Structure 1
């Protein structure tokens, strides 16, 4: 099941089905409980009515029973023998005794049954019996059972109430209330639920399918456009953005932003490859020409020029390799470095500079940073190379604290960088002075490498106007923890 629409429809249907089944069972349970409570009340009323008549010494034959078919009655004595049943009762269960044929009470020989007249009363002697008995005030016992009245068997709810006759005889009255209404109501509700549940689930599934289909229609448009972009390799195309403000619109916007970044990255890579090929072609062609001339005319070999071209080719290859590693996401090291010592060490190794470099670092201060010694030394070296190319008489390197970090500033007294070009010079293969020779100007990768390395160390590299009038390149790095 790979379709999101199908999974959403089935999931919603299952959730609704579980909720409806649980709600239906709860409704049936409550309905059944209420109906049984009503049946209990009817059975209790009927039982207490008969018990009250027995407590008033009413004879069995004179008991006034209302609706004997709906409320069958069975009376048992203390020994559980049936002493009275309502008219038409042919079978009964659930009352503790299944008898429906009255028998004489075990106490009848010693105590007259309810309704019997004592001759001594007429003579005025009196029997000493109370004029009335009593009905138990305790809650009756309820039970489920069946009864056959006039040949019709049905389910009943029986209530058992005790009554004491004036003669002291304890009788138990079982009176029933029919459960036919409860069963019919429960069956009706259950049938309605069983009929309506599939229809309702079908409606839920259909509506969910349609709503999901409508909601996912923009996703299908995005998918088709992405497939077309993949097939055509045209990164200038964009996926359609729906006018809504939901997650799908956000997905479309994010996809287009990703395509924009990807297009820029691919274009940057293309320019990089083209520029790198162009830069590599010059020293390679020059070196090949010199070697071919030397092969034909050894006396014309320009050995210093060949060495210079080889060195230039080596430096360019190293720059390209470092840029490739940076683009691949190479993380800098986490060594603890002292920025002042790193600057002094880098300056001390530059013996061929045409202008001496002045280092300004406080002797008693420690400017510690975390990072790669090789990469940070490369940044300082590139900034010094750039200053040496443009300086007139002075190059200065200053190391100082700057907020929560360390600032390394390289200044020269050259022409400086025009304000509108201060960001472009950090692009790869960019050289502002197109008139100067390639040998003097380099390949235009030094500043790009320096900014990339600074950013990967959590710092920044910017250019400003120096007090001397030239350019001031400020490398800011966070202090070591």
Structure 2
């Protein structure tokens, strides 16, 4: 099932099905419990009425069982012998005994049984000298304890049905304990439960169809913007036009955020592709000049060996080599190459690089204000390239001197390289770090380089968790500050 709408509809339907089934079972149990409780209460009322008559020594044949067709009654003694049953009771289950015929040994006339005339008369003064319960006319009673309930069935005049039985204990005036079982029909409970169950089973499929349909429509409407985003991305892929953007819905939900994130990704991708295209174009342009010059010199040398400019050919070859090395390093940085974790002493690194770049025209002064090693973690080769590029840039623009200082500041190591040249205009201080950018377009390419040194320096500094900024030096020229975290 590959459709999100179908999965959502199916999931919602399954959840609703489980919830409705659980709720239906609870409703049926509560309904059955309530109706069964009502039947039990009805049976208890009948049982207590009969027990009250028995406690008053009403003869069994005179017991008021006028609704025996609705409430079957069975009276037994404590040994389970049947004393009396309601008229028409043919079979019973769920009580103390399934017998429906009074036991022959049971007293036939009165709950008090056969008694002598002396016992009935008693003493004239009413004293109960021997404590016998049979001589006390007030000792007949009905138990106030909760009755015992049970479910069973009974056949009354040929009709069999289920009943809820209540068992109530009573004591006759003669002290004979009896148990009265009275039943209330469960037909109403069964019919109500069956009706509710049938209604649920009939309505459940219809309700599930409604839930599935509504979920399908709602999900379809909610995912409509996603389909628009997909179509637009497919069109962008087919046309390769990264200037296009996906539609952003006016809502503030997850789909709107997805559209905005997609457009932001397309913007970054477009900028990256444009940067890559400019890089390729600028690299081709920079490579074309030394290659053309070198080819011209070699062709002239092949035709006229005496005119071959060997130093010029060597210079063009060196320029090609440096440019190729710069392009290779930029390619590795763009590919996400991580710097090493070697410990590099920047003070020692600066002192190693400065002697390679001193000449008669420019004086380079180095000052170290911090004591101890000034160490950072990273690639020694890449950091050497950064220091070298900054020194080359300073020497190229300085008039008389270049000052280099190595200090510490709040746990960072700072390398500051200042010159006394014309400086960098404030509006151009970020642009000079772009690739193939040279502020003095009129100067000679041989003197100005390809415009990759500062771009490489900033990229390396960034990948070493540092920064490279430019400001104004005390001498009025440019001040480049490299800040790297101390190891």
Counterpart of 2:273?
266
Counterpart of 1:358?
365
Structure 1 residues 54, 306: CA separation in 2 closer, same or farther (over 3 Å shift)?
Answer: same
- Given that 1:462 and 1:473 are in contact with CA atoms closer than 8 Å, whether structure 2 keeps it comes out as yes
SS in 2 for 1:264: helix
Q: 2:300 aligns with which of 269, 293, 311?
A: 293
Per-residue Cα deviation, 1:339-377 (whole angstroms, up to 9, x for no partner): 211111111333567423111112624322221111111
SS in 2 for 1:329: coil
- Given that 2:122 and 2:135 are in contact with CA atoms closer than 8 Å, whether structure 1 keeps it comes out as no
Per-residue Cα deviation, 1:415-457 (whole angstroms, up to 9, x for no partner): 1111111111111001111111111110000000011111111
Counterpart of 2:135?
129
Counterpart of 1:430?
437
Unaligned runs of 5+ in 1: none
- Given that 1:83 and 1:105 are in contact with CA atoms closer than 8 Å, whether structure 2 keeps it comes out as no
C-alpha distance in 2, partners of 1:295/1:122?
A: 159
Counterpart of 1:84?
84
- Structure 1 position 321 matched with structure 2 position 328: yes
* Offset at residue 390 of structure 1 (A): 0.7
- Structure 1 position 114 matched with structure 2 position 111: yes
Report how many residues are paired. Answer: 477
SS in 2 for 1:462: strand
Structure 1 residues 318, 20: CA separation in 2 closer, same or farther (over 3 Å shift)?
Answer: same
Counterpart of 1:385?
392
Counterpart of 1:306?
313
C-alpha distance in 2, partners of 1:55/1:67?
A: 20
Provide the aligned C-alpha RMSD in A: 2.0
Structure 1 residues 306, 354: CA separation in 2 closer, same or farther (over 3 Å shift)?
Answer: farther
Counterpart of 2:262?
255
* Offset at residue 217 of structure 1 (A): 0.5
Counterpart of 1:238?
245
- Given that 2:404 and 2:417 are in contact with CA atoms closer than 8 Å, whether structure 1 keeps it comes out as yes
* Offset at residue 69 of structure 1 (A): 1.7
- Structure 1 position 395 matched with structure 2 position 408: no
C-alpha distance in 2, partners of 1:161/1:182?
A: 23
* Offset at residue 223 of structure 1 (A): 0.3
- Given that 1:9 and 1:209 are in contact with CA atoms closer than 8 Å, whether structure 2 keeps it comes out as yes
Structure 1 residues 337, 201: CA separation in 2 closer, same or farther (over 3 Å shift)?
Answer: same
C-alpha distance in 2, partners of 1:103/1:464?
A: 121
Structure 1 residues 295, 123: CA separation in 2 closer, same or farther (over 3 Å shift)?
Answer: closer
C-alpha distance in 2, partners of 1:372/1:284?
A: 32
Per-residue Cα deviation, 1:92-121 (whole angstroms, up to 9, x for no partner): 111132222223335x49xx7427786726
* Offset at residue 123 of structure 1 (A): 9.3
C-alpha distance in 1, partners of 2:462/2:237?
A: 32
Q: 2:212 aligns with which of 163, 183, 205?
A: 205
Counterpart of 2:160?
153
Structure 1 residues 44, 113: CA separation in 2 closer, same or farther (over 3 Å shift)?
Answer: same
- Structure 1 position 346 matched with structure 2 position 343: no
SS in 1 for 2:42: helix
C-alpha distance in 1, partners of 2:65/2:120?
A: 33
Structure 1 residues 207, 449: CA separation in 2 closer, same or farther (over 3 Å shift)?
Answer: same
State the TM-score, normalized to the length of structure 2: 0.93
SS in 1 for 2:135: coil
Per-residue Cα deviation, 1:33-80 (whole angstroms, up to 9, x for no partner): 122111221112211211111111110111012421221001122332
- Given that 2:471 and 2:478 are in contact with CA atoms closer than 8 Å, whether structure 1 keeps it comes out as yes
Moved more, 232-241 or 24-33: 24-33
Moved more, 455-464 or 340-349: 340-349
Unaligned runs of 5+ in 2: 124-131
Counterpart of 1:75?
75
Structure 1 residues 80, 122: CA separation in 2 closer, same or farther (over 3 Å shift)?
Answer: closer
C-alpha distance in 2, partners of 1:376/1:198?
A: 73
Counterpart of 1:469?
476
Counterpart of 2:173?
166
* Offset at residue 133 of structure 1 (A): 2.2
- Given that 1:218 and 1:242 are in contact with CA atoms closer than 8 Å, whether structure 2 keeps it comes out as yes
Counterpart of 2:418?
411
Q: 1:459 aligns with which of 444, 447, 466?
A: 466
Moved more, 327-336 or 350-359: 350-359
C-alpha distance in 2, partners of 1:373/1:87?
A: 113
Counterpart of 1:141?
148
SS in 2 for 1:349: helix
Moved more, 137-146 or 240-249: 137-146
